[in-house]
């Protein structure tokens, strides 16, 4: 079976590496164009992996995968299957029609829940108790294809984005291999998605990362988990008469009754009031400064700070 793999970030690269290790016949990679930053080219994560296994002529980075010239070029592989994992472009029908057995996609949610670009973020933002991975046969409209296999995972209350992403990636690997074997045996069973249960995971915006302490503590806590490490949820503060952004990386929900935005420093712990409960701030980063403990940040602020 000849397979063309479409994917770009680390999530896709880890799955691609696994497929190479399992001797799956990946004949070509399609990934996003390299990005130039500070005069240097940054290669996609999948390109780094594929360069160890594929000839350079078998790695494609089209500006638009829907370009007719690219579609004609990829036809030369006479592929049986396309596998798409976080590629970053929508595949048009002309491309979906190229492989003999169609295109399949690894999607990091339990479809039809969280169709769209950011399912992992949205599962955490929404306070879900469970999430998972779906392998779907691709259709013209994004994430609407029939389900081939699905597996769920518990979403623990303290799990942050990077931890959940890693677990979902690990889960995806054997699941995808199982689906490939189904295609080899021509034993694929499809289940249509339940359109009455559809929800969406739209692309992340800066507004979605901004914290408002008038919200419930749990909502803010989930917001911080969803964007932990990078890019991080943030709030606006006034410090020494200057307005700045303060990134918040880690918090705990505390049963202290404070007014929204009210600050309490107690025994080297920093608390801030929300709509219902309070949050203990643990790790923060002021705009233009290094990441630090919230207690050290408050000490440096010398009491001349307010949350906006």
SS3 118: coil
> How does pLDDT run across 130-166, given as a tens digit for each residue?
999 999 999 999 999 999 999 999 999 999 999 999 9
pLDDT, residue 222, reads 98
- Domain 3-197 indexed as CATH 3.40.50.170: yes
CA 288 to chain CA mean position, Å: 26
- Average pLDDT (269-285) is 97
Reading the block at residue 258, the tokens are 């404070």
pLDDT, residue 40, reads 60
Reading the block at residue 109, the tokens are 């949610």
- Decide which of 36 and 266 is more confident: 266
> How does pLDDT run across 210-264, given as a tens digit for each residue?
999 999 999 999 999 999 978 899 999 998 889 999 999 999 999 999 999 999 9
Contacts with 9 (C-beta within 8 Å, 6 or more apart), sequence order? 44, 45, 46, 86, 88
pLDDT, residue 44, reads 79
In whole numbers, what is the pLDDT of the chain averaged over residues? Answer: 94
pLDDT, residue 289, reads 94
- Domain 206-307 indexed as CATH 3.10.25.10: yes
- Average pLDDT (161-172) is 97
pLDDT, residue 89, reads 95
pLDDT, residue 50, reads 82
Ranges for all domains in the chain classified under CATH 3.10.25.10: 206-307
Contacts with 63 (C-beta within 8 Å, 6 or more apart), sequence order? 33
- Decide which of 290 and 56 is more confident: 290
pLDDT, residue 39, reads 54
CB atoms within 10 A of CB 73: 13
Ranges for all domains in the chain classified under CATH 3.40.50.170: 3-197
The residues that bridge with 37 in the sheet, in sequence order, are 40
pLDDT, residue 203, reads 94
pLDDT, residue 216, reads 97
> How does pLDDT run across 8-58, given as a tens digit for each residue?
999 999 999 999 999 999 999 999 998 766 556 667 788 888 888 888 779
């Amino acid at each position: 079976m000849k397979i063309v793999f479409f994917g770009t970030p680390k999530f896709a690269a880890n799955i691609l590496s696994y497929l190479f290790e399992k001797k799956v016949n990946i004949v070509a990679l399609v990934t996003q164009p390299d990005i130039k930053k500070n005069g240097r080219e940054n290669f996609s994560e999948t390109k780094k992996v594929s360069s160890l296994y594929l000839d350079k002529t078998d790695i494609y980075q089209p500006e638009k995968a829907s370009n007719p010239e690219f579609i004609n070029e990829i036809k030369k592989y006479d592929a049986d299957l396309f596998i798409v994992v976080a590629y970053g472009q929508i595949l048009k029908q002309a491309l979906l029609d190229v492989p003999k057995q169609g295109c399949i996609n690894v999607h990091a949610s339990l479809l039809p829940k969280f169709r769209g670009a950011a399912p992992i973020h949205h599962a955490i933002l929404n306070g879900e108790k469970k999430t998972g991975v779906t392998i779907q046969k691709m259709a013209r409209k994004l994430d609407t294809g029939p389900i081939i296999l699905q597996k769920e995972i518990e979403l623990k209350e303290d799990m942050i984005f990077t931890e959940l992403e890693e677990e979902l990636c690990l889960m995806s690997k054997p699941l995808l291999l199982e689906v490939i074997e189904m295609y080899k045996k021509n034993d694929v069973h499809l289940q249509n998605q339940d359109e009455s249960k559809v929800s969406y995971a739209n692309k992340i915006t800066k507004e979605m990362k901004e914290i408002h302490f008038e919200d419930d503590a749990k909502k803010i806590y989930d917001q911080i988990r969803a964007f932990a490490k990078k890019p991080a949820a943030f709030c606006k503060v006034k410090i020494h008469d200057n307005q700045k952004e303060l990134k918040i990386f880690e918090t705990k929900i505390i049963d202290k009754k404070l007014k929204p935005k009210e600050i309490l420093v107690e025994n080297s712990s920093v608390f801030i009031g929300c709509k219902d409960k309070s949050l203990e701030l643990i790790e923060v980063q002021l705009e233009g400064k290094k990441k630090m403990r919230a207690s050290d940040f408050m000490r440096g602020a010398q009491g001349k700070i307010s949350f906006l």
